[in-house]
Chains A and B, each alone.
Chain A
């Protein structure tokens, strides 16, 4: 057993042989943050007194959801067999939406702890990240967490892990992040097994950016892993993708508070501050070199983040539009993958068309906008990117149903994903049914351990972004987990369905669906709107249409009586107050042609509150 390292190694002058860079791969609630906290306290970098539960997850939403959105790195001292080491723990985002960020974090490490809840076993996302880690040639150290739980079945899951990654069940470490049991042994094991980083100290500096965080006081904090060479304070650095140069105002390591150092050398992990204010100037995956002696070859693996899912975000109170714009401008500073542009809708007023990495990213952004900026928002149904080719051979990229070209369509291509679903074997039937219904093609099925199955499907991304995960969870009592990765696009028989109110198209309700589902969508939406839109002085037909062809219709009959019988013995004041109330109500009405629709009706129709209430 090793005590805390007697003397921490100095950054910038640490021999790479004594550096260990590792990350933790785990599912959302398998206790990664608790284990990380425990390591911080055992290695002495955070005193027990200052220990804030789940220290590394800084954002409120992260803490509440128990997930990590932005990763960070912490340097911890450790000693083994009389030798001092520097352990760099690189926290990775745990969700499929952030696969690119995960891959960059993995690229910064030589080893990974595969952390699995001893009561639940491995989940689909963990499996996906494990594949990524193996792909990056990382040394995997399997660990079962929460062995203090009464429901823990460490023997069973040790066998499951061993069968997945090879090795013997006895090699699977057993720890409890909560009690601290086994954590020191774990630190010893990783010091022993994780390879030391390798690089050329005399080469031109190359550091890979694996995270970039906006701090309102300090500007962008860029987290890097040094591959070759050396970086020092006051040095001018260059971003290899853009050739932009900045001066390093501060360089250092997190332990876990930022601690300035004399620089960073080969194999080290730390942060840079240059004073830039926008994370777009410091992109994850990019290579940092020096302006004086720039490297010629950038590190491999850099790609621009590409939004996969699009949705219109609208303030419920139209006067909040400028506030929404300011809020997005601020979020953009810390989230390079968020893209948006102004959009107007007849039904919803002024808003923004936003692009997200995935559904969770969309949820996180809307939640942050609502919580941190006090905005009430409505999001339109998420859409993916379609490539539409018209009969005259024009190809249009469609991220919003309103961009769908009219006239004859030659083909529509939609993004496909490979989805992996992990669930107890009893749920295989319902899962297959759901996936078939979502136009999935079965790729294969494999048993993991005794009673759990991995089911793989090719599916259109559009089917996944439309409440697939909610459905999956509810059909499997919450047991199923899902991971998916893009695998290109595929032609499909897709059509745009429009919803018309008295002949006027209501933009927010247009959607692109498979032809077989167009009717269902039309019936659903026209039915919802019929229930939600108050009667008008004239009959209002509500239609669903593909082009000029009506596929479903409902109608709201004209209101016939809108008059109070009497004035209650001269109580005119009461009658006038009623009128004034109606006037206030009118302000929240949106006009579609001549039809007055309360904004709440649109919002309820978009959010599906109608059916929920009926249940």
Chain B
């Protein structure tokens, strides 16, 4: 979760949605995101909405599942009042924080609540994030029994020095173990990597990629480290204790990732995500970029239903209070107009492979495509076939491509 909330309207206490959310609903899937705002320690680079024990100000981890389930009931009521059709969850994603800080029974209970509230569609993708040192074989087996289909491990790096800079506590040798346990439990596996950590070399990054590839997961995410204001790492950089990651080196890292992952048989489907062919792309992740509907449950969680975006209060204690009082935990929201939705479509779909159709673009944007092909940012063959597909260079300059398409 982002630390800076966007400026927007305050959200209504009853959480009610405008009728406009019904427009085009038949074309949108429904998903559920469950935020678990707890961590054992806070990592130096992290500005996500998560809390270690001493920061909880009276909010209890043990009460959390119950509060999340309460919000699902409220969500159900709001969606019914808006006369949205009943839709089963096509994807469910538990993110954090560290969802696996909670007892597996809590995760199972929350997933059950999704099932009883909306139903879970046949073949649904149900994922949880996990730290390699926060789960064991039994935990993973229990997740599979509860209905989870996929687990995404925060591996980050295979190099102890890099993990230490990130303040990640796990031993890289544990990764093969947890991957094997997950696989034995019948769960799909994704590994999350971070590149561009201060002090990380090309060789370090190559070692991490190779280590990840050796585990043969279904899916690999590789995110460049972003130094967020307010984090410990940002302070260390400001004081000159560590050097900010160099943007050109980050580009080199990205290019290496694409090279090694492609060679190992992975295909990129979103700028920072690669998957083995045959339906291993994360459908929940794609839903964000494709503009589907999802309800985000939990402190600081973001939701989108039919052109309305909102986000919950961030602190678990404030969240608990809203839920206790029977109020919507939403803090602010935006009701997007048609123009903004058009901008978002370009902004979001450009990042995914084959996401943006040239036929859907405004005439001015269509004209700009030729220049993007000429500059080597958009694949020419795909463009002739009607789709915007970014080249490797185009993926690294995706934000610039978006601005060009929008005429910004």
Contacts and interface: CB of A to CB of B under 8 A. Distances in A.
Interface string A544-580: 0000000000000101111111111111111111010
Contacts of A569: 1, 33, 35, 48, 95, 296, 301-302
Contact of A579 (B33, B294, B393, B403): B403
B340 A576 contact: yes
A537 interface: yes
B146 interface: no
Contacts of B398: 562-563
Nearest to A577: B6
A586 interface: yes
Interface size class of A (residues with CB under 8 A): 20 to 34
Chain A interface, DSSP helix/strand/loop, else mixed: loop
A612 interface: no
A562 B396 contact: yes
Interface stretch (B69-77, B171-179, B248-256): B248-256
Contacts of A566: 223, 272
Contact of B294 (A538, A559, A570, A573): A570
A577 B393 CA distance: 24
B340 A563 contact: no
Contacts of A571: 1-2, 6, 302, 311
Contacts of B289: 567
B347 A563 contact: no
A576 B248 contact: no
B348 interface: yes
Given A560-B396, A561-B247, A572 B344 contact: yes
A90 B1 CA distance: 74
A566 B33 CA distance: 16
Given A537-B400, A575-B347, A577-B6, A570 B296 contact: yes
A588 to B, nearest CB: 13
A576 B8 CA distance: 12
A583 interface: yes
A491 B355 CA distance: 67
Contacts of B271: 563, 565
B403 A583 contact: yes
Contact of B251 (A537, A560, A565, A567): A560
B291 to A, nearest CB: 9
A142 B348 CA distance: 81
Nearest to A584: B408
B247 A560 contact: yes
Interface in A504-540: 537-538
A537 B375 contact: yes
A586 to B, nearest CB: 6
Contacts, number: 109
A572 B396 contact: no
Contacts of B351: 563
A537 B95 contact: no
Contact of A572 (B304, B399, B400, B406): B304
Contacts of A559: 247, 397, 400
Contacts of B276: none
A583 B397 CA distance: 16
Contacts of B400: 537, 559, 562
B303 interface: yes
A83 interface: no
A296 interface: no
B146 to A, nearest CB: 22
A572 to B, nearest CB: 6
B288 A570 contact: yes
A582 interface: yes
B309 A564 contact: no
A586 B406 CA distance: 12
Contacts of B254: 561
Interface residues of B, number: 50
A68 B6 CA distance: 54
B226 to A, nearest CB: 6
Contacts of A565: 223-224, 226, 271-272
Interface string B339-371: 010011001100100000000000000000000
B163 interface: no
Given A561-B250, A567-B288, A572-B302, A579 B399 contact: yes
B281 interface: no
Interface in A386-429: none
B226 A564 contact: yes
A614 to B, nearest CB: 18
Given A563-B399, A572-B348, A573-B309, A579 B408 contact: yes
Given A567-B288, A569-B35, A570-B303, A562 B399 contact: yes
Contact of B344 (A568, A576, A582): A576
Contacts of A564: 226, 399
B334 interface: yes
A538 B397 CA distance: 12
B104 to A, nearest CB: 22
B4 interface: yes
B244 to A, nearest CB: 13
Nearest to A583: B408
B395 interface: yes
Interface string A18-54: 0000000000000000000000000000000000000
Contacts of A576: 340, 343-344, 347
B402 interface: yes
B399 A568 contact: no
B57 to A, nearest CB: 22
Contacts of A557: 248
B397 A537 contact: yes
Contacts of A577: 6-7
Nearest to B224: A565
A537 B396 CA distance: 11
B396 A573 contact: no
Contacts of A583: 403, 406, 408
Contact of B288 (A538, A563, A572, A573): A572
Contacts of A562: 396-400
Contact of B347 (A538, A560, A570, A579): A579
Interface in A309-336: none
B304 A570 contact: yes
Interface string A462-503: 000000000000000000000000000000000000000000
A573 B341 CA distance: 11
Contact of A568 (B2, B304, B408): B2
A567 to B, nearest CB: 6
Interface string A572-611: 1111110100110010000000000000000000000000
B344 A561 contact: no
B56 to A, nearest CB: 20
Nearest to A567: B288
Contacts of A537: 375, 377, 397, 400
Contacts of B340: 576
A226 B224 CA distance: 83
A364 to B, nearest CB: 41
A570 B6 CA distance: 13
A53 B254 CA distance: 69
A579 B95 contact: no
Contact of A563 (B4, B309, B396): B396
A567 B95 CA distance: 13
B2 A582 contact: no
Contacts of B294: 570
24 contacts: A537-B377, A537-B397, A537-B400, A559-B397, A561-B224, A561-B247, A562-B396, A564-B226, A565-B226, A567-B288, A568-B1, A569-B33, A569-B296, A569-B301, A570-B33, A570-B294, A570-B304, A572-B288, A576-B344, A577-B6, A577-B7, A579-B343, A579-B402, A579-B406
4 nearest interchain CB pairs?
A560-B251, A583-B408, A563-B398, A573-B6
Interface of A: 537-538, 557, 559-577, 579, 582-583, 586
Given A563-B398, A569-B301, 11 more contacts: A559-B400, A561-B247, A562-B399, A562-B400, A567-B348, A570-B294, A571-B302, A572-B348, A573-B302, A573-B309, A586-B403
